């Protein structure tokens, strides 16, 4: 609730409030986030601001849209280790819509790209893998 004399709430502030509720487990994995209308009324922001705050959490990979449920807190996944050998390069980029579907990558989660010395590439969704580098 916004009170007289209180600083206005923008999308970043609203996203920070929701992020804190997620990290404190007040909102647990699988829980629905409040609707844009609820956020708008509770924090005295426009629907556009509420939508932008929720979109920010989705782009960070903290929340995801689930058909028939709305936007929910994403279930964290313990990442698997991928060993990167000497001579290989690693970069990150956002997946294409097709890659998002094939690799089941939530919105806002990048792909880690391992480029081998022969030019071949392997793609890893960043929320499920961590890179560990072998020393030469």
Domain containing 106 equals 80-133
- Burial of 120 from C-beta contacts in 10 A (0-12 / 13-18 / 19+): exposed
Answer whether residue 20 is part of any domain. Answer: yes
Answer whether residue 2 is part of any domain. Answer: no
Same domain, 65 and 87: no
> What is the reported pLDDT for 98?
96
Answer whether residue 3 is part of any domain. Answer: no
* Dihedral over Cα of 85, 102, 95, 19: its sign: negative
Examine the fold and report which residue of 73, 91, 120 is the final residue of a domain before the chain moves on. Answer: 73
Distance CA 26, CA 51 (A): 20
Same domain, 85 and 63: no
pLDDT (tens, 9 = 90+) of the chain, 136 residues, equals: 444 555 668 899 999 999 999 999 999 999 999 999 999 999 999 999 999 999 999 888 889 888 899 999 998 878 899 999 999 999 999 999 999 999 988 877 899 999 999 999 999 999 899 999 998 7
The domain tally of the chain equals 2
């Amino acid at each position: 609730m916004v009170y007289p004399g209180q600083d206005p709430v923008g999308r970043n502030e609203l996203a920070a409030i929701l992020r804190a509720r997620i990290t404190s487990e007040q909102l647990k994995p699988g829980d629905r986030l409040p609707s844009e209308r609820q956020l708008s009324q509770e924090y005295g922001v426009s629907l556009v601001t509420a939508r932008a705050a929720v979109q920010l959490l989705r782009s960070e990979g903290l929340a995801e849209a689930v058909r028939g449920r709305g936007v929910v807190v994403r279930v964290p996944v313990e990442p698997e280790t991928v060993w990167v050998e000497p001579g290989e390069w690693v970069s990150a980029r956002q997946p294409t819509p097709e890659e998002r579907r094939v690799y089941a990558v939530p919105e806002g989660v990048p792909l880690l790209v391992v480029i081998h010395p022969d030019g071949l590439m392997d793609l890893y969704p960043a929320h499920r893998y961590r890179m560990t580098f072998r020393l030469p």
